[in-house]
Amino acid sequence: MKNYKFTVVFEKDEDGRFLAICPSLQGCYTEGETLEKAENLIKDALKLHIEDRK
């Protein structure tokens, strides 16, 4: 699989959860209880999103 670089924006919501959004891939986002969890989840979401687009 090729390596791609995407910008991901992380935001902490009012409940303390972390939202991870990839602005260049519409609909590619996730959230986690911690920043580390959100980082891991967005990596998986990016892989699935790219595979689906292929």
Q: Look at residues 32, 36, 27, 34 and name the one whose alpha carbon lies nearest to residue 46.
A: 27
The total number of structural domains that make up the chain: 1
The proportion of the chain whose per-residue pLDDT surpasses 90, expressed as a percent, equals 89
The predicted structure's pLDDT at residue 22: 97
Residue that wins the pLDDT comparison between 1 and 37: 37
Which amino acid makes up residue 50? Answer: I
Does 37 reside within a domain?
yes
Range of the domain at 30: 9-53
pLDDT for residue 1 is more than 70: no
Q: Is the pLDDT of residue 54 over 90?
A: no
- DSSP strand pairing (9-12 vs 18-21): antiparallel
Residue 4 resides in a domain: no
